[in-house]
Structure formats: C-alpha cells, structure tokens
Structure 1
C-alpha cells in the first residue's frame, strides 16, 4: 500500500467535529477541571498563596453582567503566569479579609507594598491582612479626580450655553426672525467650543496642537474659572512628576491645597478633601514611585480573555481556564 499523506480536508470527510462537543470533551475529560482543587468554591473565591511576593496590587473587575470580583495580583509576575494571588467575588471588605487571611501569616508579613485606588474597602483589607506593607494609592486615580472636577465645570457651562441657545431660538421664533448663533474666531459656536474642549482639558498644555491652543485661549477667555480649574489639575499632576521625596511632595501638596481653598471651586474642594483624607497613602508613592498600572493591565487581559471566550457562561470553568494561564 502506498504511503500518501492524508490532508485535513480528507480527514474532515471522515470526522465531523462539532465545536460544542469538542468543548464539552475538553471540559469534562481533557482539562482536569473535575479534579481541580478549587472547583467547589471558585465562583466565590480562588487563592494561590504561592504567588505572594513583596509587591502586590489590588483592584476590582467585572466578569459578567456587572458582577464584580476583587483581584489581588503579584507585580513581579508582570501579568504572566503566577500573577493571580486571589480572586474574590464582590467588594465587601470582610469577605476579602476572610479569604486573604487564609494565606499563611508568615507569607503575608513578607509583603512590603500594596498599590490600590482610593476605595475604603481595599484599604481596610490591606491594612488588616498585610500589616507590614505600605499602602500606596495610585497617583493616576488621584489625578483622575482632578480631571473629573475640571470636566464637571466644563459640563456646567455647556448646559448653560445650551439653555441660552434654546431661549434665543424660542425668542427668535416668537419674533419671526432667523436665529444666528455667535460664531467665534476659530469657527466654533459657544456650545461647540465647550463640547470640543473636552479632550484638551485632559492633556497637559505642552501637548496641545495649534488648533487646541487657539480653542483653549478662547475657552479660558470666556470662562476664567475653567482656566483656574485646569491649572489646579495640572499642578496636582506635576507634584507626582517633579517631587523626589515624600517631604518635598508634602510641602507642594499643602500649597496646592491652600490654592484650592482660595479658588472657590466647590468640585476641587471635594477633591482636596479626598486628598487630605488619604494623603499618607498618596505620599507613599514616592517610596518606590509605584502605581496600580499592573493591576489595570491585568484587568484588561481578563476582559480580553472574556471577549475571546464570547462572554462568561460558566463562571467556574472560566476561572479555571484563567487560573491555568495566570495562576
């Protein structure tokens, strides 16, 4: 008998492979899912104590239907195998603490730093479980609060401009005349100026294009309070870029806080109060200049994995597959 290679096409004539059946075979027989030691409680919590390192991150992510899970990750794994330390359903501090305390105390005491956002539940969990660790609030979450305050002021003025335009249109109709909105020197109407300024207010002015510079000039000329708000947000960001030590940053933060108080911008006073409440954890950034970027990056990987799986139909099996790759 001649030895002829059999192509995949010819094999396909003899073996009709059903995708759903193949998936079931993998799940039930090939994958070792049935013998997985964490299967019984995986949808509530998973724990991989061996992945604990001196530097951790804690954050939350949504798996399906907005269901939140708290994830503790090992920074030293750099988002690869060994990254997952724990995944816990929900964001309740006591639930997180109960699971994390299953990690041997000697391992928990070796943790020197945990990065996080401003969420009180995260901070309490880290304080209770990793007693020797510096709690570091991510600088980008702090800066985002300031950016949100700027956007709040912009949106307030935009609604005012829309109301003024609607009133002007109604008045023009009543008087049977044609309404012509004011057109600024860059071609924007006032409401367009406020709408199109959104992205430039997120950027440092040194990164503005010539078009954005002109738009910002017109915007700040009309709305000086928006100019002050933008300057306060940039100054807060510059503290993290320029200062080299906690002491240096503390002085600049105190000056910034005083300027916020005198600015009279209520949204920024809220930001300042949040910063004041968490300043010790914020200043811990200057120990190693650590951020929570690794946790955000890992969350993106979880979402990408969820997308390739076309959603999460079986939470336990999804977490099993996730643990095989990242734990």
Structure 2
C-alpha cells in the first residue's frame, strides 16, 4: 500500500494512526480507555488502580469458552475467548490467578452461560475456572496433553544419545567403535520430528530410518508405541464409538502398560495425567480443544508484527481489541 501511494511506511503509519483511524476520537470520547481492576490494601482499605483490562465484552460470552495466556511485547496477557465465534471476551494484562479471577468475575451473571471451558494445565487457570466457573466443565486441552507425552518420547531419545556420546573416545583419532556410535547419533538426529508423527506420515526413506533406529534402540520404540497408543485413545471418533466406561478402562490399561515398561521418562507424564484425569476425560464429553484460542494467538502475533510491533503499546492494543473482539 505504501508503495502504491509512494509513501514511506512510517509516514503511512503516522497518517493512519493520527488521522485515518478512529484511535484519537475514541480516546477523546472515552470509547477507548482500558478498564482497570481495583487493588484493595487490606490494612488501610485504600483502593488503587490494578491491572488494565483491554477487552471486556460480555456479549462475547457463550456456552463454550477458552482461556489461554499470550505474550504481547514483554508482558503476559490472559485471553478469554469464545470457542465457537473466535471472538475475545476478555484480555487482561496478567497471568496471576487472583488478578485473572478478579477480571473474570466482572462478567457477573453472564458467566452462567458458560457450560464448557478449555485451558492448558496451568495451575492458575485451573484454579480460576474452578472458582469463577463452578458450573462449567473444565476441559484440559488435548494438544497440550499430547505435547507432554511426546516430550517424554524425546526425553528417551535424549537419554540414549547421551549414553552413546559418553562412550566416544577422547582422542582425535576415531576408532571403529567411535564411527559406529557417530552413525547411531546421526540416525537418532533424523528421528527427531518423526517421533511426533504417525507412521503413515513417514516417507519411504523415513520408514527406513525409523526401522533402523527402533531395531538398534528398543526402548525408543517402546516409548514411541506408548505415545501412539495414547494418541489413538485420544482420537475424537472415540466419542461416538465408545462409552465413557470403556474410554476410562482403556486409559487405565494404558497406565498399566506405562508402568510395565519402567521407562523413567514417562513417570512424570503418568503422574500428570492421573492428577488431571477428570479434566482430560471431559474431552470425550465436550469434544472441545483450545484450537481456536491458539489460532487467535497466532493471528495476534502476525497482526502486531505487521503493524510495527509494540512501539506504541496503547495503539497496538487498541487495534487488537478492535479487530479480535
């Protein structure tokens, strides 16, 4: 656009911000002014200005909501969005449970509309959901859970690489054993992304790499098979072909299989899934993920990068609020 009008990008930005957009009129009329939370000093009772609430749209509250964190500039934000419409209902400059809870409580009776809310496993968001939305089913995002499982597989790969590297000789001259170890290390390097994919996505060359790696490192195959079994259990089609008792029984069978392998890397994963079992199983009741919330995060990233970043924070957040709520 700047080239069409023979204008420098900064010049066009200046004219858009100050004259073409409604930013200054909205500021003057009070249409754009972040709402601030209140902080109360428990000793003196003094009320001070708290964190800014850049988006507060009760009309965007619906039956299915998502809550997620977002880094904008150097600050952390919490975004509450409608999982059906993709519109932001709330954006507050905080990720602390007390402050996020205060912000959500501002919606009052509108919160009664919410039947399901999805989030990651952050303790702060789980606490907020249980306190502010007790009537809603909390669904831990499927993709965050799968990431934990895949990280355990990659941790097994990392351990194997470390063990191999420790057996390399210290001298400059490479022995036959060193060459064999280096070959295995290169092979493991090629498995990095394939370990997070289903087998049908591998190319013929990829299948050869994985078959060779699994043949030489059985523990890696065991870890990969556990991840794929969990992914199969997590498939959305199971909502329609299995009842809740069968789904729960299948999950407990997976627990047993994990314990049977005695892979240390899966212990923390197993502990985490057991701790949040009810919220994970709610996926099969609600069928909801944080996918739209993640897409909003990606769109905000592109939007801000295409508009000169966060040099003018208030204007950037004004436009973000305007476009995404």
TM class by shorter chain equals 0.7 to 0.9
1:5 aligns to what?
Answer: none
**Which aligned pairs between 1:93-242 and structure 2 lie closer than 5 A?**
93-105=97-109, 107-165=110-168, 167=169, 170=171, 173=172, 179=175, 181-182=178-179, 189-241=183-235
Cα deviation, 1:230-263, whole Å, max 9, x if unaligned, reads 1111111111115334322211110001111121
8 Å Cα contact 1:57-1:72 kept in structure 2? yes
8 Å Cα contact 2:70-2:77 kept in structure 1? yes
RMSD over equivalenced CA pairs, Å = 2.6
Is 1:60 aligned to 2:53, yes or no?
A: no
The alpha-carbon deviation at position 183 of structure 1 amounts to 5.7
What stretches of structure 2 of length at least 5 have no aligned partner?
A: 37-50
How many residue pairs were aligned?
300
**Relative to 1, partners in 2 of residues 1:251 and 1:12: Cα closer, same or farther, differing over 3 Å?**
closer
**Relative to 1, partners in 2 of residues 1:178 and 1:272: Cα closer, same or farther, differing over 3 Å?**
closer
Paired residue secondary structure (1:115): strand
What stretches of structure 1 of length at least 5 have no aligned partner?
A: 1-8
Instruction: Pick 1 or 2: higher relative contact order, CA cutoff 8 A, min separation 6.
Output: 1
User: Which shows bigger deviation, 150-159 or 90-99?
Assistant: 150-159
Q: Which has the larger radius of gyration?
A: 1
Task: Tell me the TM-score normalised to structure 2 length.
Answer: 0.85
**Relative to 1, partners in 2 of residues 1:233 and 1:89: Cα closer, same or farther, differing over 3 Å?**
same
8 Å Cα contact 1:39-1:316 kept in structure 2? no
Paired residue secondary structure (2:29): coil
CA distance in 2, matches of 1:130, 1:197: 43
Cα deviation, 1:24-70, whole Å, max 9, x if unaligned, reads 334686552333445144772131111111110110111002x2101
Cα deviation, 1:122-147, whole Å, max 9, x if unaligned, reads 11111111221110011111111110
CA distance in 2, matches of 1:12, 1:115: 47
2:78 aligns to what?
Answer: 70
Paired residue secondary structure (2:65): strand
Cα deviation, 1:82-126, whole Å, max 9, x if unaligned, reads x01101112111100101101022x11111000111111111111
4+ residue runs over 4 A deviation: 26-31, 177-181
**Relative to 1, partners in 2 of residues 1:40 and 1:240: Cα closer, same or farther, differing over 3 Å?**
closer
User: Which shows bigger deviation, 50-59 or 35-44?
Assistant: 35-44
**Which aligned pairs between 1:274-313 and structure 2 lie closer than 5 A?**
274-313=272-311
